[in-house]
Amino acid sequence: MGTAMVTGASAGLGLEFAWQLATARHDVVLVARDGERLHRLAGQIEAAAGVRTEVIVADLSDRDQIEPLVERLQHPIRPVGLLVNNAGFGIAQPFVGGDLAREEVALDVMVRAVLVLSHAAAGAMVQRRRGAILNVASIAALLASGTYSAHKAWVRAFTEGLAVELRGTGVTATALCPGFVHTEFHERGGIDVAAFPSASFLNPEDVVAAALADVRRGAVISTPSLRYKLAAGSARMAPRWAIRAVGRYRRELGRGHGAPGGATAWSAHDERTA
């Protein structure tokens, strides 16, 4: 029991994290841009699970709007025991010729916000000598899928480094690296899911349950499902020229199946737009 903060809580994996944490009797701090959806969710969770909820409406690409989250994570009286850095979105454009402003927003949401919030949470948690940080990365971190892969590779590497630094403090850091998940991500990214085998998709309930179980046992990398564990192992062992070849194939596949600019990001979430 305790309090968990979930960014990108109004849709996709963030929504599932909020519900599973609440049904496990954790109070939840819900963060997203859509205040109406957040307040509706907060009411539903309180009625169904009987826990306390807090709503913080924030655009994580805006440094000023992150400050209330930093202050909440550092609150001395009402500690946050679990931070779930989940907010993110598919860029859905090529880098060359794409909108640079959109790339900068993606960098702010999926890299800088993770850095800032993890720093605030880790500092407060280490002082209490307990807590956990769960950063949502992706199996894309091991691939060559444009700047989305680069952002998620940073999240994975950052979380591993943070876990090393936190060893012995009572605080843990875990990177969640899922593959395809049935969420709103693909619809919002203009990606035709029919282009991919149905067996490649995971249920969000299973992904979140596996992630929270890995957090409880202090795992540094969480890769839900045997199929994606095998895929991740293959990607780590494969020569980088082979990984780049897969990236080229997926780019061409995306162009034929409705992904703008050939973008077919491997992702579990698209919560910034919610």
Beta strand pairing call for 27-32 and 3-7: parallel
Task: Tell me if the pTM is above 0.75.
Answer: yes
CATH code: domain of residue 222: 3.40.50.720
For 183-225, write each residue's pLDDT tens digit. 554 455 445 444 454 555 688 999 999 999 999 999 999 998 7
Q: Is residue 107 part of a domain?
A: yes
Active site residue 148: yes
Q: Is residue 125 part of a domain?
A: yes
Q: Is residue 270 part of a domain?
A: no
For 139-185, write each residue's pLDDT tens digit. 888 888 889 999 999 999 999 999 999 999 999 999 999 877 645 54
Cβ-based neighbours of 76, under 8 Å, separated by 6 or more: none
Q: Is residue 249 part of a domain?
A: yes
**How many domains does the chain fold into?**
1
Q: Is residue 274 part of a domain?
A: no
Q: Are 271 and 86 in contact (CB under 8 A)?
A: yes
Q: Are 124 and 80 in contact (CB under 8 A)?
A: yes
Which of the residues 152, 228, 229, 249 is marked catalytic?
Answer: 152
Active site residue 229: no
Average pLDDT score over residue span 11-38: 96
CA distances from 260 to 87, 96, 108, 157, 194 (A): 21, 13, 21, 28, 16
Q: Is residue 27 part of a domain?
A: yes
Residues of the domain holding 120: 3-262
Q: Is residue 253 part of a domain?
A: yes
Q: Is residue 180 part of a domain?
A: yes
